[in-house]
Structure 1
Amino acid sequence: MTADVMLPLADSGGQGMPDFTVRALDLSVIIGYLVLSRIIPLVVGSRMQKKAHAEAKASGGKDSDASEDYFLGGRNFIWPFVGLSLVATNMSGATFVGLAGGAYEQGISIFAYEWMSAVILVVFIFFILPFYLRSKVFTLPEFLEQRYDRRARMAFAGFNLFANMFIDMAAALFAGAVVVKVLYPDIPMIVSVAVLAILAAIYTVIGGLGAVMVSDSIQATITLLGGVIVLIATFNAIESWDSMAQVAGDEKMSLILPADHPDLPWPGLLTGVLVVGLYYWTTNQLVVQRTLGARSLDHGRWGSLLAGFIKLAFLFLFIFPGVMALSLYPNLENPDTVFPTLVFDLLPVGLRGLILAAVIAAITSTVDSILNSASTIVTMDFVKTLRPDTSQRGLVFSGRVATVVALVVAILWAPFIAQFDTLYNYLQSVLSFLVPPVVAVFLVGIASKRISATAAFLTLVIMQPLGLLMFIFTQVLPEEPSIQFLYAAGISTGLSVLLLVVVSLLGPSPDESKTAELTWKSEYWTEESQALRGTAAWANYRVLSVVLLLATAVIVVVWA
């Protein structure tokens, strides 16, 4: 019995048909990685929790409970784990498959979503993260209850579950299925999706966030290494940088595109990319949960900055290979097959297995994070809220059941994403219509104590259903979209802020107890400035933030 499978793919455009053969050595590498990546997180995560309990007992501090261990890892993660977990959660299969495919189709302008992330992470650690950690919440819907009321909490918790299953997890599973389809075209997509989901669920259900964070740190490292290898191989394959740039053309080698561009018009950077990024990095339970588990505010900030620096490297690791592929394979029918084409055409046996393992790492890393996020919301925002007497063991059991249910829903929905041109188009389009009300409720609510609970609730329950309807009627049903989705995000944000402010001004001022500790005050900045005096530059998050912003500016200016 042989493990070699010969596979066809799209026309490679004159470079010869790539040899799509999965060798026994490749499979051995993949299987070995999958086994180790299931075992190591469970063992290390368990040891970390035991060590945290022992340290808490020795110091006389408060020991964490079972639910805090399962959902937030005992709030004991240091900054490298926070940063790598943030990156791994973000580096789903959409990073390899989606970024390379998006770059092949529209050029390096797709990097806008990455460099904007660095800017947003700075905003996050300056003005938003301190309030999250001060509130000691498990979930962001819980934060909304502290700032507003239970209505806002339940409305946002419901949206989070919807987004986890139908947007985040379904997209990650679909990206993995695209790669599997290239390798094994006879396997139905639903089967590929189910297998990938089960691989991710193994340690999520058993180990909780502790196992997920350890797994994320390992898989982020493997994924970044895979990106470096593919970049080097692709660069060596092209004739020259200049000839590649000539084939790509000026538009595909520019970060800033004309205002009438169908995919990424430059005004859309502010009206859409910024809004979607603010949602993803500052109000999305999936991502923010990593920082909620940080040992301290400093560790949360340093970890976020580490993620920001790594995001800047995505231009070279994942986007430029997609653009280079234009000169190697100009006639690929499906842009989302660019990455597997590069791997099988340019890399030797064995190394292919490592890269495919990196892809699986990226996919399962995102899925395990989403599963943990969904189970946390179900347990802490619904079960514990509606049945407050539930035991710690009962809460953990509820989380595990919720994980399995969310998984099944995402498995069933993932194949429907195939109707979109590229995976990235699906992600950015649907988010642009759904998330502006969320961004408005969180950010304006932290910025102003005048925003009321009723205004927040109405903004969520009115604007989000409208956003879903607009997405269906302007993006899904017509043959061609009737409005550019990034512009739609700007319009929705403006209307959400208007509704939020008007309803607040028409009603009574919120109770001071709801706003005193959870809204911005200028004295916070003054007090922190005094506390930071004498702090070494390498440990001062403000200095590091300036360095990150300068690095971002240099990249944008050079490639504008």
Structure 2
Amino acid sequence: MSVALTAPAAPNFEVGPIDLTVIIVYLVLSRIIPLVVGSRMKKKAAAEREASGGEAASESEDYFLGGRSFIWPFVGLSLVATNMSGATFVGLAGGAYNQGISIFAYEWMTTVILAIFIFFILPFYLRSKAFTLPEFLEKRFDRRPRMAFAGFNLFANMFIDMAAALFAGAVVVKTLYPEIPIWVSVAALALLAAVYTVIGGLGAVMVSDSIQATVTLIGGVIVFIATLGAIESWDSMTQTAGEEKMSLILPTDNPDLPWPGLLTGVLVIGLYYWTTNQLVVQRTLGAKSLDHGRWGALLAGFIKLLFLFLFILPGVMALSLYPNLDNPDTVFPTLVFDLLPVGVRGLILAAVIAAITSTVDSILNSASTIVTMDFVKTLKPQTSQRQLVLIGRVATIVALVVAIIWAPFIAQFDTLYNYLQSVLSYLVPPVVAVFLVGILWNRMTANAAFLTLVIMQPLGLLAFIFTQVLPDEPTVQFLYAAGLNLALSLLLIVVVSLLGKTPDLEKTDELTWKSKYWHEESEALEGTPIWANYRVLTGVMLAATAVLVIAFW
């Protein structure tokens, strides 16, 4: 391939009038459209329920779950947009520049996890009719694990998810405007996200997410094509990157992603994020039906496979263009300003900001839902629907302030992705253990769920501090730490459950897996067209995943 563009060593990060106009117009429209469309969708859903004789959604159900009326494209695009934050643009490109395409493990493993989710987990969430995942734990066990997990969810939303998303955006702004303090950038991005979240609830968030996901994917395509055109050739790029950085599977002594860590860590972190995290699962809780929830999750899985080309390979190709970048997290803005023309780069920057605010709006809605439905309504059940919505809006603002204060502290980590994956490895294995064992084993007790959360998560936080934060160099590979934490959590669950009384099987019957569900569903799927059969579509998704993994082995 001939050189299409010569990349200067030091791009000029200057946003001109045209780019700035594109960004402002996009941001204004992306605040207004979700509120208008979300309101219309809510009214249409209410009219359909009334016409069919169905029960009207409560005011809180409308605000926090969009009236449970979302069809699969909105569910799928919202799942992707929530995941595809600024951490995707900034974090994946920076991570790929730093450690190569092996970082794609977090993306292709998502398809395996989503297959588990739609087959074995989502049906029980929707059957329980829970507003939140902590509420599901109360329905399966009792109130204690609900409150413990709700507290952790709030912590994770503000100190991990939202803080990381805001920091990713601040990195981009800092690159463009070095004189602006990082906390000012964080606050501005947070306020952009809060505008329609506070007013419109999940309905506005889902519409916004669908718009942002579409624009962000288009932006990724543009950057990939431009970067591919800038390198001398594919062969020269792979030689510059080296064999290890062009391999998905790395040796056991690799410091970033040893291959056993795919099972001990990447799978565990992914199971938490895609199957037990209120932030993500809330999209499927708002689905119109189980089928729409499943089809939406499948759409998200297929899109995730594209991340290799849209966000990861540009980071690796940047090694040929900018071999001496001080901060890997500046790779993406460097590519945008160096390779794209005026106007187009304005659109890409708008897409980055949109992706960041899209994740933040989702986190804000998730946090306010937990505060309102898991704490306020649980402790004060007489609270009116109107008061619940008002409290949710106040909680949104409080969560925003906490994340703004914490986000700048993430700068001490080498890359954004290292921060995310490292902290999650120590905190989420007990959550995964409680949810999965609770759904798969009806003998698991409420005491086991509660003790696992309140013992293993604080121990995980201490271990994170002593092995990752305090030492000059990490003393334990974090993906191995996740596997060890999971094993200890499973052991604690089994021991406490077997030593305790058998739980009320009537309470657990509808919320635990039985083989009869599979057989009943097999009969129901007979005659279903291939394009609508989630089992067939899941098989296609997993086959596509296998092809990609083998191709880049």
Normalised by the length of structure 2, the TM-score is 0.99
One of 263, 271, 277 as aligned partner of 1:284: 277
Q: Could you say what secondary structure the match of 2:353 adopts? A: helix
From 421, 424, 433, the counterpart of 1:440: 433
Q: Which residue of 1 aligns with 2:392?
A: 399
**Structure 1 residue 56 displacement after superposition:** 1.1
Which of 359, 380, 404 is 2:352 aligned to? 359
Aligned counterpart, 2:292? 299
- Match status 1:371 vs 2:364: yes
- Aligned residue in 2 for 1:164: 157
Match of 2:424 in 1: 431
CA distance in 1, matches of 2:52, 2:286: 20
Deviates more, 1:409-418 or 1:58-67: 58-67
Distance, in Å, in 2 between the alignment partners of 1:404 and 1:14 is 43
- Pairing 1:223-372 to 2, within 5 Å after superposition: 223-372=216-365
Q: Encode CA deviations 1:83-113: one digit per residue, 9 max, x unaligned.
A: 0000000000000000000000000000000
| 1:389-432 deviation per Cα after TM superposition (whole angstroms, max 9, x unaligned) | 00000000010010000000000000000000000000000000
Per-residue CA deviation, residues 336-380 of structure 1 (Å, 9 max, x unaligned), is 000000000000000010000000010000000000000000000
How far does residue 18 in structure 1 lie from its aligned partner after superposition? 1.2
Code of the aligned partner of 1:44: V
The equivalent residue for 1:505 is 498
Amino acid at match of 1:257: L
Q: Which amino acid aligns with 1:544?
A: L
Q: Deviations over 1:26-81 (max 9, x none)?
A: 00000000100000000000000011111111111111010000000000000000
Give the aligned partner of residue 220 of structure 1.
Answer: 213
Q: Secondary structure at the match of 1:193?
A: helix
Amino acid at match of 1:50: K
Distance (Å, rounded) in 2 between the aligned partners of 1:70 and 1:15:
50
Distance 2:13 2:416 in 1: 22
Q: Deviations over 1:457-507 (max 9, x none)?
A: 000000000000000000000000000000000000000000000000001
Deviation at 1:129, TM superposition (A): 0.1
Whole-Å Cα distance in 2 between the matches of residues 128 and 60 of structure 1?
29
Partners of 2:7 and 2:339 within 8 A in 1: no
Mapping of residues 460-471 of structure 1, within 5 Å: 460-471=453-464
Rounded to whole Å, the distance in 2 between the matches of 1:513 and 1:204 is 39
* Displacement after TM superposition at 1:15 (Å): 3.4
* 1:40-55 map, 5 Å: 40-55=33-48
Secondary structure of 2:262's counterpart equals: helix
State the 1:513 CA deviation. Answer: 2.5
Note if 1:111 corresponds to 2:104. Answer: yes
Is residue 528 of structure 1 aligned with residue 521 of structure 2? Answer: yes
In structure 2, list runs of 5 or more residues that go unmatched. Answer: 1-5
Q: Deviations over 1:534-558 (max 9, x none)?
A: 0000000000000000000000011
**1:200 maps to which of 177, 181, 193:** 193
Whether contact under 8 Å (2:452, 2:492) holds in the other structure is yes
CA distance in 2 between counterparts of 1:79 and 1:14 reads 42
- Hey, what does 1:134 align to over in structure 2? 127
1:539 corresponds, among 529, 532, 535, to 532
Distance in 2 between residues matched to 1:180 and 1:513, nearest whole Å: 55
User: 1:464-503 residue pairs with structure 2 within 5 A?
Assistant: 464-503=457-496
Aligned equivalents of 2:116, 2:228: Cα separation in 1 = 35
Greater shift in the superposed pair: 221-230 or 16-25: 16-25
Q: Name the structure 2 match of 1:61.
A: 54
**How many residues are treated as equivalent by the alignment?**
548
Looking at structure 1, the residues matched to 88 and 9 of structure 2 have their Cα atoms a distance apart, in angstroms, of: 26
Partner Cα separation in structure 2 for residue 473 and residue 306 of structure 1 = 40
Structure 1 runs, 4 residues or longer, greater than 6 Å off: none
Q: CA deviation at 1:162?
A: 0.1
The CA RMSD measured in Å over matched residues stands at: 0.8
Structure 1: runs of 5+ lacking an equivalent? 1-12
Match among 28, 32, 35 for residue 25 of structure 2? 32
From 168, 178, 184, the equivalent of 2:171 is 178
In 1, the alpha carbon distance for the partners of 2:89 and 2:50 equals 44
Distance 1:66 1:474 in 2: 46
**Structure 2 letter corresponding to 1:190:** W
Match among 68, 82, 95 for residue 88 of structure 2: 95
Kindly provide the amino acid, as one letter, of the partner of residue 38 in structure 2.
G
